[in-house]
Amino acid sequence: MLKLAKEKVLKWIDERPDVPIIDVSQNDGTGPCECEKCMAIVNEEGSQHGPILRFVNAIADEVAKKHPDKWIETLAYAYSTKPPAITKPRPNVIIRLCHAGCYYHGFEKCGLGSNLTSYIDGWSKLTKRIFIWHYATNFAHYIAPNQDLAGLAKDIKYYGSHGVNGLMVQCNYQGPGGELAELRQYLSAQLMWDPTQDPMKIRAEFCKGYYGEAAPDVLEFLRLMDKVSEKPDMHAFGAWDPQNTVSPEFVEDALKILDTAKAAADSRAVANRIDKLMLPFWYMQLTYPAKYGLSEKDAPAVWKQAKRVITANKITHIREGDVNAPAWVAEMDSRYTPLPK
Ligand SMILES: [Zn+2]
Ligand SMILES: [Zn+2]
């Protein structure tokens, strides 16, 4: 297997000499090897990354001989986030550690299900080359509200001051219209460039440029999101039921502020940007009308607006997977388009 993998990686490099980093990683999901030889290494190393890293190091050694300018990246993900006790990554190996913890208030605050701080600490003793794969969306509801902005900024700052030197923030990666996509992207990029910056200043700068006259209202809306995310009993990770993290009061308050923002919009482009901020809240009302108090009388008008925004912004995905917005639109159409008299 190792011989085959070495040959394959060298072949990839020959085929694409412009690519600096080659990824050699475990598969997604669970299922590490349970054979006797692998389990012996796992026990020796105290970590499921033991067998992976020994395998990857052997490939990296081979690559270093012929291509000293190339890097081999490997995930530390799912069952393999804990660093091994004995084996260290070779100098040409990058560890891509996957964030696995609560999204809402920075993983340091609750650390729910993650131990990420101790894993970053452990890996940073073994290597100077840690990249992070950070999640910042609800993969089951790309366009549902996700009040993680303040937490995201805290997490990026944490990475910046704890030996991490590469970062990807994964949100809706499949199409336009991810909730708060533009702001979240701008904030992440700015903090990657210089993690010592004040995230509130970055936010204000973005809103001024992107929402114009409506910026003060949008900033108020963002403060509301921060406030909601501070609730101590609220946690979320990966793919969750947004009803657990979005209260009816939050939907009501957000739409009220965004209505004011929409009235202040000084161009059609800005009005569309405010619509995109409203869409997540309409999405909650339309998907769960009973919980969010959407009456049968009001529903067709809300759906009409939401559909217009989805169409105008060419939104293809409401959740992770194949193109799925058209099916959802058809479902909402059948639910909310009034029948002719
Ligand atoms: Zn095995
Ligand atoms: Zn939490």
Distance (angstroms) between ligand 2 centre and the Cα of 151 equals 10
Distance (angstroms) between ligand 1 centre and the Cα of 147 equals 42
Which ligand has the shortest distance to the CA of 101?
2
Whole-angstrom Cα distance, residue 227 to residue 109?
15
Average pLDDT in the 25-45 region? 94
* Residue 103: pLDDT over 90: no
Distance (angstroms) between ligand 1 centre and the Cα of 39 equals 7
Which ligand has the shortest distance to the CA of 39?
1
Distance (angstroms) between ligand 2 centre and the Cα of 234 equals 6
Residues with CB under 5 A from ligand 1 (ion): 33, 35, 38
Structural contact between residues 222 and 250, judged by C-beta atoms closer than 8 angstroms: no
Residues 6+ apart with CB under 8 A from 45: 51, 84, 85, 86, 87
Whole-angstrom Cα distance, residue 336 to residue 338?
6
Q: Which two tokens stand for residue 184?
A: 């979240």
Distance (angstroms) between ligand 2 centre and the Cα of 261 equals 30
Whole-angstrom Cα distance, residue 236 to residue 137?
10
Average pLDDT in the 281-304 region? 97
Degrees, nearest 5: CA angle 18-24-25:
140
Residue 248 vs residues 217, 253, 299: alpha-carbon distances, Å? 20, 9, 16
What pLDDT sits at residue 230?
Answer: 87
Residue in the structure block whose two tokens are 């070779």: 90
Other CB atoms within 10 A of residue 216 CB: 15
* Residue 113: pLDDT over 70: no
Structural contact between residues 153 and 187, judged by C-beta atoms closer than 8 angstroms: yes
- At residue 27, φ and ψ (nearest 5 deg) are -75, 165
What pLDDT sits at residue 115?
Answer: 85
* Residue 234: pLDDT over 90: no
Which ligand has the shortest distance to the CA of 105?
2
Q: What is the pLDDT of residues 149-205, one digit of tens each?
A: 999 999 999 999 999 999 999 999 999 988 999 999 999 999 999 999 999 999 999
What pLDDT sits at residue 38?
Answer: 96
Distance (angstroms) between ligand 2 centre and the Cα of 338 equals 41
Whole-angstrom Cα distance, residue 157 to residue 230?
18
Q: What residues are paired with 72 via a beta bridge? A: 22, 93
* Residue 110: pLDDT over 90: no
What pLDDT sits at residue 114?
Answer: 65
Residue in the structure block whose two tokens are 């161009």: 267
Distance (angstroms) between ligand 1 centre and the Cα of 36 equals 7
Whole-angstrom Cα distance, residue 42 to residue 35?
11
